[in-house]
Structure 1
Amino acid sequence: MILLWGVSSDGPLAAVQAALARRGAPVFHLDQRRAAETVLDLRYDETGVSGELTIGADRCTLADVTGVYVRAYDTRALLDADADVALHEHAQNLEGAVQAFLDVTPAKLINPAAAMASNSSKPYQAALIARHGFLTPPTLVTTDPAAAVAFQARHEAVIYKSVSGVRSIVSRLTDDHLDRLDDIAWCPTQFQAQVPGRDFRVHVVGERLFTCEIATEADDYRYAHRQDLAVSITEGHLPEEVAERCRRLAADLGLAFAGVDLRRTPQDEWCCFEVNPSPAFTYYEDLTGLPIAEAVADLLIAQAEERAAASRATKPTAARGQAVGA
């Protein structure tokens, strides 16, 4: 059984669910919007995980779960503001219980919470990235406006963005921002020297790589329309040595599925900005036709097949030549 955790309107989750359906794989969708109907009975002892997940009339035996694709949202953001206190408490307790199950299940997780945590601190993740031979841009995280001004003077072309795992728009720091720099006193902000070059988005799915090449003049290609600029996203190709670095980086971060943001400089060096542990891959898949959802589905199914093979290997068999019914 493959467990999908998220909301039905989420594009990546829906794409993976459709890919699993095409393969005839058994799927149970833990829909966060149906929290009021959901009950989780989780038990864990020396024999392993047991219990049941119930949503209305639908049931999932936890011991049968072999793979989990996590695209969960903050439960608090999904509930109506006027929902009663009891529902809020139930939904948040349910979220904690599901996470407890994911912490102990032997199922293949895409991705474990512990592995995803590195993205919660961009500077911490950058230090991990640098160990794999990628360039990382000179960076300043500060609440001091004077330090930001000095950093800009040193590097001239500078961008700024969120220091946390919360998505933010990458923007160029210009003189128009200087009169608002005092605002960073209340919000630690990340400034980076701007790296010239061509962007690449690499989706690592197990050992498979799906590379997109991005051409644009925008500060942040995801929001090129905000600057009235065009963006072109096509299938790209990496040197094998760079591809292998991407595989090793994702594996060392504990991520079975990751979105790696690269830039190739005019000097043919490779800079890595971030590794996204829950990539919204459908944006790239829709533009390039790369079968990313299919690869994620294959990865989830492979775990089920491995477990079935292991179970067959450990089953006792009758001794050869033994009389039956004697």
Structure 2
Amino acid sequence: MTTARPVLVITGLYDPTADVVIRELHDRDVPVVRFDSGDFPAVLAVEAEITPNGFVGRLDTPSRTAELADVRSLFYRRPTGFAFPHLDEQDARFATTQARYGLGGVIASLPHCRYVNHPHYIGDAEFKPSGLATAAKAGFLVPPTLITSNPDAARAFIKRNEPVIYKPLSNPVYRLDDVPQVVKVAEVAAEDIDESVAGTAHMFQKRVNKTADIRVTVIGRQVFCVRINSDLLDWRTDYNRLRYTPLSPPAGIEEALYEYMDHFLLLFGAFDFAVDANGQWWFLECNPSGQWYWLEQETGLPMRAAMADLLERKP
């Protein structure tokens, strides 16, 4: 079945946030074609021909066909990677590369599409050093931060800025006894630093003497701020201990948010701030693919409707 002016939703099989947005779009009679790029080529096919007006062709799933020139918007969430388990290692590497640059290149070049967010811009915004530099330029307060592979530089920074926390620059999944694990944010002392720091890049940051955390979700030009109260260094480690309060951002924050978003060409961003005893907001990071629906469930903020408006392309 060919779907007229669809919203494409690209994500893995289990994605409750995508599920609620799709239901909202269905309730508005906005057509949706959902797929996981990891399904290519087994149950997803692509046909794309370049013209002076961009690509024409189609994406085919077992139940839907999306004409490339008619795609209204694309909700890029958390697709799985390409996989070719039936091929040997060398052939699988070649096939994966062709899929990434072929299907991935077509998806990134739809002629009349609104991207939330564009996959290339997500990649740019996921570099924490770039995010911190952009945040400082936009006018946010940014805690003193060091990125280094030099153990002596790390020790000196910690002594100057105690207390200091270690934060991973990215968070690949480790498996211990087949259970997924991630490297957690943790406080670090100068005596904890040894020569293993020289093995790769690390990020150290002065710990904000915080009274609360703030999650700011920006959807288009709508801003949703939630204060998160807990006694945790990293509130993501125990959601059962969190308390939520919607609030309005202080003066200057919205303008800085938009400047940050415009720099990375994002239409969606999940920002994290720490609030100190003086009420100042300290920028920690922005996740261009962050979770947000649980906050609507906790606070009643109309975030699902805002996302559907953005994808529907309401004025």
Q: What is the CA-CA distance between 1:31 and the residue it aligns to?
A: 2.6
Indicate if the aligned counterparts of 1:138 and 1:192 stay in contact, CA closer than 8 A: yes
Partners of 1:92 and 1:30 in 2: how far apart? 19
Residue 228 (structure 2) pairs with residue 217 (structure 1): no
1:264 positional shift: 2.4
Of 161, 166, 169, which residue of structure 1 is paired with 2:167? 161
Alignment of 1:283-322 (within 5 A): 283-302=294-313
Question: What is the letter of the counterpart of residue 294 of structure 1?
Answer: A
How many residues align structurally? Answer: 296
**Shift, 1:300, TM fit:** 0.9
Which residue of the partner structure matches residue 75 of structure 2? Answer: 69
In structure 1, the residue corresponding to 2:271 is in which secondary structure? strand
AA matched with 2:104: Q
Residues 40 and 97, structure 1, Cα contact 8 Å, conserved in 2: no
1:18 & 1:181 partners in 2: Cα distance?
52
What is the CA–CA distance in structure 2 between the aligned matches of 1:200 and 1:33, rounded to whole Å? 34
TM-aligned CA distance change 1:121 to 1:31, over 3 Å? closer
Q: How does 1:105-144 map to 2 (within 5 A)?
A: 105=110, 106-144=112-150
Q: Which residue pairs with 2:8 in the alignment?
A: 3
2:255 maps to a residue whose letter is: E
Distance in 2 between residues matched to 1:131 and 1:224, nearest whole Å: 33
> How many Å separate the matches in 2 of 1:19 and 1:231?
27
What is the 5 A alignment of 1:152-231?
A: 152-164=158-170, 168-174=183-189, 178=192, 181-197=194-210, 198-224=212-238, 230-231=241-242
Structure 1 counterpart of 2:159, which letter? A
Q: TM-score, normalised by structure 2?
A: 0.84
1:45 matches 2:51: yes
Shift of 1:206: 0.8
How far has the Cα of 1:143 moved from its partner?
Answer: 1.6
| 1:40–1:53 contact (8 Å) kept in structure 2 | yes
Cα pair 1:102 1:112 within 8 Å, conserved: no
Q: 1:174-231, CA deviations, whole angstroms, 9 ceiling, x for partnerless residues? A: 47x71x6333222211000011222111000111011111112211100147xxx932
Partners in 1 of 2:157 and 2:215 — Cα distance?
28
1:269-284 paired onto structure 2 within 5 Å? 269-284=280-295
Deviation at 1:121, TM superposition (A): 2.2
Counterparts in 2 of 1:43 and 1:168: CA distance versus 1, 3 Å: farther
Structure with the greater alpha carbon radius of gyration? 1
Q: 1:290 to 1:97 in 2, by over 3 A?
A: farther
Long gaps (5+) in structure 1: 307-326
Q: Is the 8 A contact 1:75 1:92 kept in 2?
A: no
Alignment partners' CA distance in 2, 1:246 and 1:57: 39
Q: Provide the residue aligned with 1:26 in structure 2.
A: 31
Aligned partners of 1:224 and 1:121: how far apart in 2? 25
Superposed CA RMSD in Å reads 2.5
Q: Which runs of 5+ in 2 are unaligned?
A: 1-5, 173-181
Q: TM-score, normalised by structure 1?
A: 0.82
The answer (yes or no) to whether the contact 1:204–1:258 under 8 Å persists in 2 is yes
Instruction: Quote the Cα distance in structure 2 between the aligned partners of 1:18 and 1:101.
Output: 26
Alignment-mate amino acid for residue 252 of structure 1 = H
Q: Which amino acid aligns with 1:49?
A: F
Q: Which residue number corresponds to residue 266 of structure 1?
A: 277
- Structure that is richer in helix per residue: 1
- CA drift of 1:237 comes to 2.3
- Helix, strand or coil: the match of 2:252? helix
2:305 partner SS? helix
C-alpha displacement of 1:168? 4.8
2:254, 2:87 → 1: CA distance?
Answer: 50
Letter in 2 for 1:26: P
The answer to whether the 8 A contact 2:164-2:207 is kept is: yes
Q: Aligned partners of 1:52 and 1:201: how far apart in 2?
A: 38
Between the aligned residues of both structures, percent identity stands at 26
